[in-house]
Amino acid sequence: MRLRIAAGNWKMNKDFNSGIELIKALKEGTTAQDGVHVILGTPFIHLKDAVAMTADVGHIDIAAQNCHQEEKGAYTGETSASMLHSIGIRYVILGHSERRQYFRESNELLGQKVRRALDTGLTPIFCCGESLNIRNEGWHARFVKNQLERSIFELSEADFKKVIIAYEPIWAIGTGVTASPEQAQEMHLEIRNAIAEKYNQSVADETTILYGGSVKPANAVDLFSQPDVDGGLVGGASLKAETFIPITNAFKQA
């Protein structure tokens, strides 16, 4: 059975104290569920403390929101995968549309980052997704497949099986607009079929694919009920315990 995940991406939100308070609330308010994992993608200032705070909670892990593609060097302001690994981080979010847009991260660069993360023992949560224009023009499936082909489809089967994919329609990130459950299922199935074509059906069936794009308590159950949607990468709703906890519990009803 594929691992199901409720992952929160805090982005550049929460000062240190408010972030610590949120972690406390989530630690107290979330419950362990078979086959379900909660991942908190916090800003860098929280990472070490977050790892320590959740060390005794088996169902919660911490993710960084980025890492550099090089092992070390003169890259002022950057953080390496080995630095993250050294403080107990297990996951790293790579390829988010905001990194692609604002920091001009290409598919090729992201492929290097994924490789570095894997070589260091981190599990990448690799994001892909299309803009509204691309969807309206009807080539969203081809566009997303191209993102995968030019980045993570160059991995060996063994390494690819360590990657988590997050499908994020850019037109639904932070807009309040959510892909319908049917639209989410359609694209998740397209991604799974692309994986089967590249590797094999067994690998495709084992790959966890998350949906990201204005996930909230009101739509989480319907989204997570889709056969190829294995959870969510949640933005704004992950910043409050009262909205993120119900999302983590949506799997009970899905």
| Catalytically annotated residues | 96, 168
Look at residues 78, 150, 146, 86 and name the one whose alpha carbon lies nearest to residue 112: 150
Report the DSSP beta bridge partners of residue 213: none
- Answer whether 151's CB lies under 8 Å from 111's CB: yes
Question: What is the rounded CA–CA span in Å between residue 14 and residue 213?
Answer: 20
Phi first, then psi: give them for residue 63, nearest 5 degrees.
-120, 145
Sequence-separated (6 or more) residues with CB below 8 Å from residue 251:
4, 6, 33, 36, 224, 231
* Token output for 252: 């009970």
